[in-house]
Copies of this chain bind each other. A is one copy, B any other.
Amino acid sequence: MNGADSLVATLITGGVEVCFTNPGTSEMHLVAALDQRPELRSVLTLFEGVATAAADGYARMSGKPACTLLHLGPGLANGLANLHNASRANVPIINIVGQHATYHVPLDTPLTSDIEGIARPYSKWLKTASSVSLLGQDTAAAIEGCRTPPGRIATLIVPTDIAWSSGGTVGQIAVPPKAPLPATATIEAVAGKLKKARNSALLLSGNTLYGEGLKTAGRIAAGTGAKLFAPYPFTRLQRGAGTPPVERMPYVLEQAVDLLKDIRVLVLVGAAPPIAYFASPNKNSAFTSPECEICTLAKPEEDCAGALEALAAVLGVGHTPPCTEPPQGTSIPTGAITLSGIAAAIAALLPENAIVVDESMTSGRGILPGARGSAPHDFLANTGGSIGIALPLAVGAAVACPNRRVLCLSADGSGMYTLQALWTMAREALNVTNVIFANGSYAVLKREFSYLGVGDPGPRARDLMEINRPQLDWVSLARGMGVPARRITSLDEYAQGLREGFAASGPTVIEIPL
């Protein structure tokens, strides 16, 4: 068994089932090893930023790490921006990055680079393999590294001579570490504050935004009157009729401050204190009022759902029925295109158990609140603020959940970052309905420009926020990558497009001119 075979065998032993990749020459032995083991499915992408975001989406929906297989420093570099987002999503990912043969590196040929240096900013676990006999163990350590709670990025760099040499052995993988519970004193202290406070809230994150964790949060909300909040950049949020209602923090500082103005106790459950993405001259960045006490129930690396359960027990609400969202009406709007109509149509037509991936930016801010009483679904957001995540995140979510429908909402500017994801959707026949909000501008920047006190943008500044010269034609772009597409001109056509998309076998694109 050569090194490459031992690496792939160890990945399989460790439960890794999918590899999102764009390999190059230095990865050919790893490709050969993958070829022999069909139980590890390889998904080809045309750009590495698609591979890394797909691994993120896969982890969000499956709870398991996928691996990426990337070509040397530049291949990793192309995946870095979406690893930034993944690092903020606290998901497990294993990057396998090829390297020149150990004796070839000092020759400094054109593709040589400091791969560890490129990996370091976003890799919590990082190693260059140094011996074929240890490569299996290195791979096992990478799997353990990425599974360290709450989920981390691990990068294993594999020189080709270590991949091609014989003498590999399959690595032994330790039982994944369990996230620890917070101290009992912490839980009791939080319970005491919640009992006393008139206006309290939980700011939820991680596994308290879906499943049992969210149900427990709903019991606490029902029993104590505490409100439930999610950060603006959440990893995964369960929504819809019958689910405990969670309010997302607004992106805009003033709206967030208004939402939290009466809260006097804010309990962080795996979340960071809520503050604005960006500083502005002479503005405070905090969302909470100075009178609000912020206390931490659980840190991201602790067992957040378990902490909520313990808190519910202390509060005596462990069997209280959780508060739930009532179902909402399903009238489908018609007529001219409006942002509220777009949101309403989604709310009405969303299939049961759908996954919504959202990077619709300014155009889509009404969609999440609008769909609160829809059929139950999961909602995935951009966690790190690096645009260009939605289309490839949808790839990963669809690979993880082949029996669920994926609705991918993307702004046009964001979508252009990683539009190559559409090709992988077509290739893998993924059931993704993509909606492109084509407002022809980086609208968020227009607002921020004034908001930062810079004044009104002059013509040359405004020109850098307009992407409608020339107009992007998403119908052509999608067809160029084998995805059927339509441009809608009314809400009626839009609803029809959604229906067809949700019924289709494989991906579709709906362009909404705004």
Instruction: Flag if A113 contacts B108 (CB, 8 Å).
Output: no
Q: Mark A144-161, 1 if CB is under 8 A from B, else 0.
A: 000000000000000011
- Mark A265-285 against chain B: 1 for CB-CB distance below 8 A, else 0: 000000010011111010001
Verify B482–A480 contact, CB threshold 8 A.
Answer: no
Q: How far is the CB of A35 from chain B (nearest CB, A)?
A: 4
Partner of A104, one of B44, B108, B279, B482: B279
Q: Interface code A85-101, partner B: CB below 8 Å = 1, 0 otherwise?
A: 10010000000000011
Contact B452 A28 (CB under 8 A): yes
Q: What B residues does A475 contact at CB under 8 A?
A: 480
When the two chains form their complex, are residues A35 and B109 in contact, meaning their CB atoms are under 8 A apart?
Answer: no
- In the docked arrangement, what's the CA distance between A459 and B107, Å? 34
Q: Restricting to A80-131, which residues have a CB under 8 Å from any CB of B?
A: 80-81, 84-85, 88, 100-101, 103-104, 107-111, 113-114, 117-118, 120-122
Q: Tell me, in angstroms, the Cα distance from A28 to B444 when the chains sit together.
A: 11
- Chain A residues numbered 409-453 whose CB sits less than 8 Å from any CB in chain B: 413, 416-417, 419-420, 423, 426-427, 444-445, 448-449, 452-453
Contact B458 A47 (CB under 8 A): no
Q: In the complex, identify which listed stretch (A190-198, A301-309, A333-341, A460-468) lies at the interface while the others stay far away.
A: A460-468
Residues of B within 8 A of A461 (CB): 31-32, 34-35
Inter-subunit contact B80/A460 (CB<8 Å): no
Which A residues from 302 to 347 make CB contacts under 8 A with B?
none
Cα–Cα distance between A114 and B44 once the two chains are bound (Å): 29
Q: Can you sample 21 A-B contacts with CB below 8 Å?
A: A25-B444, A25-B448, A31-B464, A32-B454, A34-B461, A35-B457, A36-B458, A42-B463, A42-B464, A46-B413, A74-B385, A77-B84, A101-B278, A104-B279, A109-B277, A164-B453, A423-B467, A423-B472, A475-B480, A476-B476, A476-B479
